[in-house]
Structure 1
């Protein structure tokens, strides 16, 4: 997708997401958006664009770490429940309870009994959420094996993004077909009428992002909400306050001045 067209459409979609958020606040709606998919499929970068201009007090990103020893003894869905939205909130899940159907199953981090119990319980759990009024949207981000490996190598060569690459991520190259089978089985059991799976072809990240964001907006029955105008008052006349001398304040060093001076010397 051409960069200029992408940037224009992205800005328009982000403005509509701000309008959607205003409706969520005023209506008391509750929305959960699940981002799942292959490693390096672009889930995180899409979440970043979705949330970029949204109020973090209203729209939260949930990316849970590895469960603690205590959490491992709980009902599997229990650790996710505290992160569900209250009225007027949106939750964006960077991976979710579907870890059990994917990485945990493929890598052997759960037993077969736990895995099959999850496939049985997940639709029941999600129907309960929907019946209670939560709008649940589930997105699966797809990418080819060639593009995935390309992104892994790019991360590995970039010190600013190397933290995104874990040993489990790299192993997904050798377990490509295992993950494919796990995804297919997961869809069979959990693609239910109340909470369908929507696939995002994210081979082209720009195209994938705008496709996902446009679809998200089409699934939420929002409308424009009139927001009260805020009048910025005139600044009152000084009441005699005098600021303490600047030299008495503990300012951070002017690093920018050093950069500017260095640039002038080089120029």
Structure 2
């Protein structure tokens, strides 16, 4: 029993970690968060042979989530280096953030989130001489749900309302040197990602989403360099999304 619980916790952690990692990178910013493939891969982070241990009649795990944020959520990161090598700074702010995952039981999820406070993430990175990789990422999200089931199906009813401004700002300042410079900013009002993975078993996904964004969503990246010829590679990306929902089912 302890081994089963440990495995379930590991799957749960992998699912959540995949979301945060991709939302704070260029790939996540491009799609507005974690795609269905990434969610399925995260839920599948266990030996598929364990499917044989599932009972013929699968139990149902019922999850009820209600979240209301009424005040500001702010993250602010500032980094200053004379000589930068391997600098990677991230500022992330979430008003309401919820993750649910099951292994071997059907996920029956009802979630309602309301954000009434501003959400702001800001990162400032200043490097005099670049020597390697320099990265800065900001992520700000009003309401976020990440949910999935492993070896079974899912029923999801999700409601999200964002009523306050969401802002992500990334500032990068460099002077000289060689290396890679990357800056990204992602601002999202409402975000939902859900998946069901069956591994040969039936895993139907029934999902209903209602998303309302009533506020300004803003992302910005500011890059300043005195000598662009010495930067081997530079990339900047800003993404702003009011509402985004991604679902996937893999039998």
Q: Which has the higher helix share?
A: 1
Based on CA coordinates, which of the two structures has the bigger radius of gyration?
Answer: 1
Q: TM exceeds 0.5?
A: no
Q: Which has the higher strand share?
A: 2
**Structure 2 length as normaliser, TM-score?**
0.26
**Structure 1 length as normaliser, TM-score?**
0.24
> Relative contact order: is structure 1 or structure 2 higher (C-alpha 8 Å, sep ≥ 6)?
1
